[in-house]
């Protein structure tokens, strides 16, 4: 039992990979002081798919989901208050037939294609382009700040299966009772292997400085 603290500490370190990814960063940039109540901040994610394992999974046909969440907080009271938030997703996918990567930004019900690209670097550059989300802006003279969070996850075997079926035009969902339990077990095992190989999610956060609504 005396070794338990050491084991736990090592586990903690393993769960916090510090610099495994080349230049990966999430950035948020406030508009100029005169525009801070009229424009939302710019968000960009650089090289978040640059990890070698993520690239391999992506190239093997596993779609990547980049889930962004932007929060506007007020810092006026004893406790900070969440004033508004915005969420959007970017789906990156590799099409092995056309040998091209495609990226789509999805905001609520609206999908905006970000283009198709021949190389991983190109699609990462497209994903990294600054985006200004629609969010309710700060008003008055209060103190505020933005926090943006990004979760990158590789979608599992089941998810890919659903993508393929959907793209083939099948209206029925992929997970169906007509499949045998053996198939379900096999899919579960594949999913587990996928996760163990690195199909886990990665989390990033960034925030702005505290600013006043009218500076």
Question: Which of 12-20, 54-62, 133-141, 190-198 is the region at the interface with another protein (rule: CB under 8 A)?
Answer: 12-20
Scanning 10-18, 53-61, 133-141, 190-198 for contacts with another protein by CB under 8 A, the matching segment is 10-18
Nearest approach in angstroms of CB 116 to another protein is 5
**What is the four-CA torsion angle of 13, 14, 16, 20, rounded to 10 degrees?**
120
206 near another protein (CB under 8 A): yes
Classify 190 as helix, strand or coil: helix
Asked if residue 196 binds another protein (CB under 8 A), the reply is no
Give the footprint of another protein on residues 32-71 (CB under 8 A).
65, 71
Residue 161: exposure state from Cβ atoms within 10 A (0-12, 13-18, ≥19): middle
Place of tokens 């198709």: 116
**Separation between Cα atoms, residue 104 and residue 167, nearest integer Å:** 15
Q: Strand, helix or coil at 120?
A: helix
Q: Which of 17, 132, 140, 193 binds another protein (CB under 8 A)?
A: 17
* Per-position DSSP letters for 18-79, written without gaps between them: -S-STT-EEEEE---GGGTTTSPPEEEEESTT-SHHHHHHHHTT--EEEEEEEEEEE-SSSS
Kindly state whether residue 189 participates in binding another protein, applying the rule CB under 8 A.
Answer: no
For 184, the 3-state DSSP assignment is helix
Number of residues that bind another protein (CB under 8 A): 76
20 touches another protein (CB under 8 A): yes
Nearer to another protein, 60 or 170 (CB): 170
Work out whether 97 is an interface residue with another protein (CB under 8 A).
no
Closest to 136 in 3D by CA, of 201, 197, 82, 78: 82
CB of 56 to another protein, least distance (A): 18
Only segment of 53-61, 131-139, 180-188, 189-197 that touches another protein (CB under 8 A) = 180-188
- Per rule CB under 8 A, is residue 210 in the interface with another protein? yes
Q: Does residue 184 belong to the site contacting another protein (CB under 8 A)? A: yes
Does residue number 130 form part of the binding site for another protein (CB under 8 A)?
no
Asked if 80 touches another protein (CB under 8 A), the answer is yes
Provide the β-strand partners of residue 150: 68, 204
């Amino acid at each position: 039992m005396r070794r338990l603290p050491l084991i736990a500490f090592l586990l903690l370190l393993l769960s916090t990979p510090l610099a495994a990814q080349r230049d990966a960063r999430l950035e948020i940039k406030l508009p100029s002081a005169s525009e801070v109540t009229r424009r939302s901040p710019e968000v960009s994610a650089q090289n978040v798919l640059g990890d070698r394992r993520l690239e391999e999974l992506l190239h093997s046909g596993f779609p990547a989901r980049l889930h962004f969440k932007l929060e506007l907080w007020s810092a006026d009271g004893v406790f900070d208050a969440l004033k508004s938030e915005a969420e959007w997703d970017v789906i990156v996918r590799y099409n092995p037939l056309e040998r091209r990567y495609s990226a789509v930004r999805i905001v609520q019900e609206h999908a905006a294609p970000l283009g198709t690209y021949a190389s991983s670097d190109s699609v990462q550059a497209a994903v990294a382009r600054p985006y200004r989300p629609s969010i309710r802006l700060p008003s008055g003279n209060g103190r505020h700040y933005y926090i943006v969070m990004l979760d990158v996850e590789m979608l599992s075997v089941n998810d890919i299966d659903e993508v393929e079926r959907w793209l083939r035009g099948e209206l029925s969902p992929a997970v169906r009772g007509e499949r045998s339990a053996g198939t379900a077990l096999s899919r579960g095992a594949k999913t587990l292997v996928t996760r163990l190989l690195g199909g886990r999610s990665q989390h990033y956060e960034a925030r702005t400085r505290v600013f006043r609504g009218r500076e």
